[in-house]
Each structure stands twice: as C-alpha cells, then as structure tokens.
C-alpha cells in the first residue's frame, strides 16, 4: 500500500511527539484521588491543540492521533471546535489515545474499563476512527490476561455501531512479548485491533517479536530511537524490515520523543523521510 492510495496519506503524527510544543497536559484518570488539573511538565508550550491540524497540513501530513491528556477540555463545545479544526485542515482524526486505566487489575479493572468506555463518546465527537486503550499493566499471568480479555471484549461491545474501532498496543508488562499479545488478540477474535509500537520492546529480541505481531497490526507507532549522534538508523531500519516481512501495509504514526532536536517537527520529519526512503528503496529493488 502506498501513500497515494490510502485516505489522507500514510503518515500520522501523535500529539505525544509534540510535548514541548503543546506544553500543558491534563492527566485524566479513573483514580478519583488523582487530579486532571492542568500541569506543565514541559513548560507552558507555544501552540494550542486546535492549531496542530493546520501545522500538519503545512507539512504534508494528513492524519493526527490525539493523546487524551492533551485535551484541555472534554466539553462538547471544545470537542466540536477541535473537530472543526481537523476538518478545516483536511486532517483525519486517526486515533484517540486513552492514556490511563488498567483493565487487567484484579481490584480496579472493572472500574477502569468503565472509565475507558466513557471515552468512546469523546472519540466519536472528535471524529476519531480508532480508540487505543491499554490492555493491562499487571504481570502476564493467565488470570490477568483472561481478565483483560473479558474487559476488552466488553469494551468492544460498547463501541459497536459507534464508528470507533477499539485497538490496543504491545505495551506495559501484560503484553511484554508476542506470546501474550497473540494470546489476547486470539481471545478477542478480532473484536479489538492491534496498534503495533516499534519502540516498546527492547532490542535485540524485539525485531523477531515485531515480525510476529505486525502481521496482525492495523496501525503502527513508528518510534525511532535517537542517541547522541541522531536517529539510530540501524535500529529503525530493522524495525521497518520487520514490518515489511510481516506484510504490514497500514499507516505509520510518527513518534518522536527525544531532546535531540530543539524543534520537535525536525525529528518528526526526519522519521517521515527515513520511512519514505526505505519504501522507495524496496520498490526500486522489486523492479
């Protein structure tokens, strides 16, 4: 699949990649003892969330993923304003990323999954096609995996007829290897999709692991590793090779999380160029 035959192109950016540009976060949580009040761990920021769609369009990127903690308000009026900004810039709301909750927890899993379900309506209001949720943060025991599967299956039913696809990610201890990831997806019988993340598992085992799970992925968080010399091209290429070997043909969400560039857009666009060059090279080799 090429960028030209995928709606709004093959590249997305997550607001996770724009921490410093956006500044403030609003850490919504199912824990009633935690506050969602505005915090500025990255400073006050230089841009509002509603300005990001136009900035994406100016850089030739057609898709956006929104972290829940970057929404300054959950009021219907604000969500409508954000959706209008996306539509005005012709940006597809690819995914709402729900950044808290633990469906695998033996004590609070039911509370958390009900809280997560409340975000379906928010994803709808934003026009998001997908909603990425955490499968679980507990150890990958049979009981914890079964609990997560039950809760995620219930969540998928809540999303029926909403136009929002629930996906999860190879993230946290519950899904720390292909074995658990595949078990969970098998148990859910395609009711929940996979957002494969290239940066969540450690090298060198991760390349074979990615090759295993990316055959099932609908989305991909294409996070590059940056070191003192810049983008780790060896690691990034191996990750992309794993995706290619697995037959992955979906969009790439550019995840930049490094202080290497003062301007986060520089890191994001470097990742984009690397992926484009990789695929062009493969296409030339294929004749």
Instruction: For residue range 165-217, list pLDDT tens digits in order.
Output: 999 999 999 999 999 999 999 999 999 999 999 999 999 999 999 999 999 99
Interatomic CA distance for residues 19 and 50, integer angstroms: 14
Q: How far apart are the first and last CA of the chain?
A: 16
pLDDT per residue as tens digits for the range 44-56: 999 999 999 999 9
CA-based nearest residue to 196, from 213, 209, 179, 177: 213
Return the ∠ at Cα 119 (arms to 115 and 121), rounded to 5°: 125
Compute how many other C-beta atoms are within 10 angstroms of the C-beta atom of residue 273. 11
CB 27 within 8 A of CB 34: yes
Interatomic CA distance for residues 120 and 99, integer angstroms: 13
Residue pointed to by tokens 């590793």: 225
Interatomic CA distance for residues 214 and 199, integer angstroms: 13
Interatomic CA distance for residues 287 and 285, integer angstroms: 5
Interatomic CA distance for residues 185 and 214, integer angstroms: 12
pLDDT per residue as tens digits for the range 255-266: 999 999 999 999
pLDDT per residue as tens digits for the range 135-173: 999 999 999 999 999 999 999 999 999 999 999 999 999
pLDDT of 3 strictly over 50 = no
CB 198 within 8 A of CB 225: no
pLDDT of 4 strictly over 60 = no
Side-chain-facing half-sphere of 5: CA atoms under 13 Å: 3
pLDDT per residue as tens digits for the range 8-31: 999 999 999 999 999 999 999 999
Per-residue pLDDT band at 228 (split at 50, 70, 90): confident
Residue pointed to by tokens 């993230």: 171
Side-chain-facing half-sphere of 106: CA atoms under 13 Å: 7
* 1 or 241: which leads in pLDDT: 241
Interatomic CA distance for residues 60 and 233, integer angstroms: 23
Max CA-CA distance within the chain?
59
Is the bond leading into 204 cis (omega within 30 degrees of zero)? yes
Is 169 strand, coil or helix? strand
The domain ranges of the chain are 198-287
| Mean pLDDT, rounded, for 108-129 | 98
């Amino acid at each position: 699949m090429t960028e030209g035959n995928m709606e709004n192109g093959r590249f997305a950016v997550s607001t996770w990649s724009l921490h410093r540009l956006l500044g403030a976060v609003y850490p919504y949580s199912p824990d009633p003892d935690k506050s969602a009040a505005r915090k500025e761990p990255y400073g006050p920021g230089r841009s509002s969330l509603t300005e990001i769609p136009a900035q994406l369009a100016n850089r030739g990127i057609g898709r956006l993923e929104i972290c829940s903690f970057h929404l300054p308000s959950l009021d219907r009026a604000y969500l409508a304003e954000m959706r209008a900004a996306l539509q005005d810039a012709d940006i597809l709301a690819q995914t709402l990323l729900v950044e808290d909750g633990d469906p695998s927890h033996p004590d609070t899993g039911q509370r958390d999954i009900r809280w997560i379900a409340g975000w379906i309506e928010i994803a709808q209001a934003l026009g998001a096609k997908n909603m990425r949720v955490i499968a679980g943060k507990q150890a990958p025991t049979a009981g914890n995996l079964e609990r997560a599967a039950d809760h995620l299956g219930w969540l998928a039913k809540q999303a029926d007829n909403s136009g929002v696809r629930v996906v999860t990610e190879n993230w946290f201890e519950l899904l720390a290897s292909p074995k658990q990831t595949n078990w969970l997806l098998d148990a859910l019988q395609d009711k929940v999709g996979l957002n494969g993340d290239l940066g969540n598992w450690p090298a060198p085992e991760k390349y074979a692991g990615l090759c295993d799970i990316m055959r099932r992925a609908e989305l991909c968080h294409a996070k590059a590793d940056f070191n003192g010399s810049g983008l780790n091209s060896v690691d990034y290429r191996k990750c992309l090779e794993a995706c290619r070997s697995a037959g992955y043909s979906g969009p790439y969400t550019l995840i930049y999380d490094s202080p290497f560039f003062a301007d986060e857009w520089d890191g994001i666009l470097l990742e984009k160029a690397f992926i484009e060059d990789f695929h062009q090279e493969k296409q030339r080799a294929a004749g």
